Structure 1
Amino acid sequence: MVLEAVILQVKPGMEKEYEEAFQRASKIISSMKGYISHELQRCIEEKGRYLLLVKWDTLESHTVGFRQSKEYQEWKQQLHHFYDPFPIVEHFEIVDLV
């Protein structure tokens, strides 16, 4: 399992519109092969800041399967105009401490 983590900064005054658009766009990402789950969290201290966490079965499910798909173009059209600056996407894996 791979965790995609993204800090999103939404343009001032667009938070409600963004949350509504994200809810609609969630149908796109959740339909993708290799998708496990996702959640969007709103920052308490910083207005307009969100944390997106998406679980994928493999890194390639996100970087190739989703990012190179026609569905990603729709995702991008629905959401990318809200961000300033454009977010940095990072991927994480569980540390086996045993």
Structure 2
Amino acid sequence: MAAATAGPFRVMLRMQVKPGLEQEFEQVWQAVGDSVTSHPANLGQWLSRSLDEEGVYYIVSDWVDEARFREFETSRRHVEHRERLHPYRSGGAMTTMSVVAHLTSGPGGPATHEEWEARR
């Protein structure tokens, strides 16, 4: 079902990690993640590894709004967080967006692929 109101402000980082440092990067990212998720405007963040591109990670974080994210982005704690992860990076990019809809499966959905197909 689509959300009736505007969703959160979303930030997506594409991070290229130096070859051979992927496992250490994942460990450090988890160790320093509290510096992001403890901010009162953060709604959560996710780390995903690309299955198509070697050494590429995507970090997605949701915020209550853009102004509060920008407040965090210029904070001392964020700078320290970036400095901890910087030795692993060989490149990256940031994309910001506003979530306009959110669909969920809801309770009572089909248990198997076959049941899902039969509901057409």
Question: Normalising to structure 2: TM-score of the pair?
Answer: 0.73
Alignment of 1:66 onto 2:66: no
Provide the rounded CA distance (Å) in 1 between the counterparts of 2:67 and 2:90: 26
RMSD: 1.2
Match of 1:14 among 12, 21, 46: 21
Offset of residue 73 of structure 1: 1.9
Matching of residues 1-98 of structure 1 within 5 Å: 1-63=8-70, 65-85=71-91, 87-95=92-100
Provide the rounded CA distance (Å) in 2 between the counterparts of 1:58 and 1:34: 8
Q: Cα deviation per residue 1:6-32 (whole Å; 9 max; x = unaligned)?
A: 111001110011000000111110111
- Secondary structure at the counterpart of residue 13 of structure 1: coil
Among all aligned residue pairs of Structure 1 and Structure 2, give the percentage whose two residues are the same amino acid.
Answer: 23
Alignment length (residue pairs): 94
Structure 1: give runs of 5+ residues left out of the alignment: none
Runs of 4+ in 1 over 6 A off after TM superposition: none
Provide the rounded CA distance (Å) in 1 between the counterparts of 2:100 and 2:37: 25
Question: Normalising to structure 1: TM-score of the pair?
Answer: 0.88
Offset of residue 94 of structure 1: 2.4
- Secondary structure at the counterpart of residue 33 of structure 2: helix
Q: Please tell me the residue identity of whatever aligns with 2:97.
A: F
User: Rg bigger for which structure?
Assistant: 2
Structure 2: give runs of 5+ residues left out of the alignment: 1-7, 102-120
